[in-house]
Structure 1
């Protein structure tokens, strides 16, 4: 009887110990931002985009890099440069025509929806700062010069949506659509909202997703 009692007590102690160990293991496996159960990666990307600025065709080229958290959220930095032919009606009182050129960049937050599907959606949002200027396009090779006297700085918010295709384990391609919201542009003969508008393009991403 005494041996039976000791056996029961030993079994109870083992059960309590195992339960405590399981709880500790569950606590250890609890999902956190930086634990080992998350799969983190990163990518670099280039983008080729089309937009209209001041009702003229504009080419926008960009690049970005981001840290990918558990396949579902990317955080990084991005930048874009653009150039656009602008009808300025000789605003500087000479016989030169000018282009509107500049760039912008900043922080990018990008939720990724159903990333394991071969075709899925991401929703990048850029928040940053940019600059725009008139660039003299006078094509006289003997007297060519650059003039940036007319310029301004602006804040930019650009939310977008991308339809992504998993081309391989480390390569993705996306069709993108976004819209630029900016602070007012204060330049001669230019509308304050000249930089606002939609953009469409292609994005090529390389990395661990």
Structure 2
């Protein structure tokens, strides 16, 4: 069984490998149309869904992102996400019951930057980095127990597929790191965790030389 430190090491090596890739000159897609043509560099956006770790448990997170691509290499824009359901754990409800059945959830929003390697290849990589501010909430049934604001840094890597010239689905793997939370029940390390999901990019992706 690999430790979390080993997973972090493997993840870092993957990021280094992706960031050293070279660029190609011709756009290839999995599904192509002979009469299709590329427009100039523009914007893209779409939803994402995935499995995420929170307090060593796995659940579902959902969200959306949108932004601009510059020179087929760099993207930036806005992002928002949150847990689709609460995560259960046993903790202190702050009224004397240290074995209470509690639920934790979070939501966050902010900006992202992304390095795209070989976007003109039918299958390629990208390296996104999300910078967000989030809110964490802990409840005991319908009663609020505690909440906190926190900063979130989330580096990741995408395996992207040029399905068509306006649709690129991606497999995403990332690690969410919380900073500055002030909960009694859970610390920053408990709120941090791995994510594995799907990202759907809809937009315009230019084949013109930058």
| TM-based fold match above 0.5 | yes
Which residue number corresponds to residue 135 of structure 1? 139
Structure scoring higher RCO (CA < 8 A, sep ≥ 6) equals 2
Which ranges of structure 2 fall in alignment gaps of 5 or more residues? 1-38, 206-210
1:173-192 correspondence runs (5 A): 173-192=169-188
Could you report, residue by residue, the CA deviation over 1:24-48 in whole angstroms, capped at 9, with x for unpaired residues? xxxxxxxxxxxxxx93211112111
Q: Quote the offset at 1:89 in angstroms.
A: 4.0
Q: Which of residues 152, 156, 162 is equivalent to 1:156?
A: 152
1:25-174 correspondence runs (5 A): 39-82=40-83, 83-89=85-91, 91-93=93-95, 97-136=101-140, 138=141, 146-174=142-170
Which residue number corresponds to residue 5 of structure 2? none
Asked if the contact 2:181–2:187 (Cα under 8 Å) also holds between the matched residues in 1, the reply is: yes
Could you tell me the TM-score, scaled by structure 1's length?
A: 0.72
**Cα root mean square deviation, aligned:** 2.0
Q: Quote the offset at 1:185 in angstroms.
A: 2.4
Distance of aligned partners of 1:185 and 1:134 in 2 relative to their CA distance in 1, 3 Å threshold: same
Q: Matched residues in 2 for 1:182 and 1:72: separation?
A: 28
Mark the structure with the bigger radius of gyration.
1
Q: Quote the offset at 1:90 in angstroms.
A: 5.8
Which residue number corresponds to residue 13 of structure 2? none
Could you tell me the TM-score, scaled by structure 2's length?
A: 0.71
Q: Matched residues in 1 for 2:125 and 2:143: separation?
A: 42
Asked if the contact 1:105–1:126 (Cα under 8 Å) also holds between the matched residues in 2, the reply is: no
Which ranges of structure 1 fall in alignment gaps of 5 or more residues? 1-37, 139-145
Could you report, residue by residue, the CA deviation over 1:144-196 in whole angstroms, capped at 9, with x for unpaired residues? xx333400010111111000001111111111011112214221221332221
Q: Matched residues in 1 for 2:54 and 2:145: separation?
A: 20
Asked if the contact 2:149–2:180 (Cα under 8 Å) also holds between the matched residues in 1, the reply is: no
Asked if the contact 1:39–1:69 (Cα under 8 Å) also holds between the matched residues in 2, the reply is: no
Q: Matched residues in 2 for 1:113 and 1:157: separation?
A: 21
